[in-house]
Amino acid sequence: MLTRKTLRNLGLGTLSAVVAVFGFLGGRAVAEQPHMRAALDHLRIAREQLQVAEHDKGGHRARALRLVTDAMGQVEDGIQFERNR
pLDDT band at 1; cut points 50, 70, 90 = low
Q: Are 74 and 46 in contact (CB under 8 A)?
A: no
Tabulate helix, strand, coil % of the chain (nearest 5).
Answer: 85, 0, 15
Give, in degrees to the nearest 5, the angle at Cα 83 between 79 and 85: 120
Domains of the chain, by residue range, sit at: 1-32, 33-85
Comparing CA positions, the residue from 82, 80, 63, 74 lying closest to residue 40 is 74
The string of pLDDT tens digits covering residues 32-71 is 899 999 999 999 999 999 999 999 999 999 999 999 999 9
